[in-house]
Amino acid sequence: MRFLYCGDVVGRSGREAVENHLPDLRKKLDLDFVVVNGENAASGFGITEKICNGFYEAGADCIVLGNHSFDQREILGYIDSDARLIRPINYPEGTPGRGASAFRTRSGKSILIVQVMGRVFMDPLDDPFASIDKILKTGRLGQKYDFILVDIHGEATSEKMAMGHFCDGRVSCVVGSHSHVPTADAQILPGGTAYQTDAGMCGDYNSVIGMDKDEPVRRFIRKIPGGRFTPALGPGTVCAVYVETDDKTGLATTVAPVRIGARLQETLPLITGLEG
């Protein structure tokens, strides 16, 4: 199976980058399933139904969120109706939406997508490790599911790495989100799980983690706000993680970073047997 995870989409620049590049990436990499993190897609804070539909039309099969899941008020009336839209599973019981969803690919493969939020330097949600352990006990990789993704949305690299090792051998891929900076540690862990600490963002990298530079820099220098954070509007780069898995076990055989667009050095995985 060939899978792509696109990192946090920030504002219009990120949306346009994903919508422009994803259709071609889907064809070029012969992808079976695509997940997009859309939690910063609406002016840098949250997501809307219209934006979700734009990602689906571009080729996304599922959208995950994060700590900005509910920043847009309208999402409260929409999230329960869209099984393809996933917020962190360790939100308190009764929170709208769902933290995991199962899907079928066009070829009939079964996929489980789960998102969890870390607690180090983040909101004090329920225990992320217990939450993941509970959902993984409902169906095993290679038996009930052909592919399982765990997206850990968190600040601390140590917590993300710990989640990777906690899930090793039980899921196809653990990928981190939230920091908006792609890490250079894509690897297959000893138990066969693909891992990257952070996929990075889809947005304008001539920025401070996707935001126009002036206000963040001012706050670091003066220690007082001078205005609102607004997304940078320059050309966007898509940052993503590509994973191939063994059809029998669901474990990873390949993991590679993807960067395509404006500023960062472009990189695409070499896919044997495909032209173009």
Catalytic sites, residue numbers: 68
Answer whether 188's CB lies under 8 Å from 255's CB: yes
Answer whether 18's CB lies under 8 Å from 238's CB: yes
- Beta bridge pairs of residue 153: 117, 177
Answer whether 47's CB lies under 8 Å from 38's CB: yes
Place of tokens 């670091």: 220
Place of tokens 């989640």: 163
**93 C-beta neighbours (distance < 10 Å), count:** 5
Cα 117 to chain center, whole Å?
Answer: 12
- Residue 21 has which token pair? 């590049």
Among the residues of 95-189, which ranges form H helices? Answer: 128-136, 157-167
SS3 135: helix
Where in 162-217 does DSSP place strands (E)? 173-177, 187-188, 194-196, 201-202
Answer whether 202's CB lies under 8 Å from 184's CB: no
CA–CA dist 205, 15 (Å, integer): 14
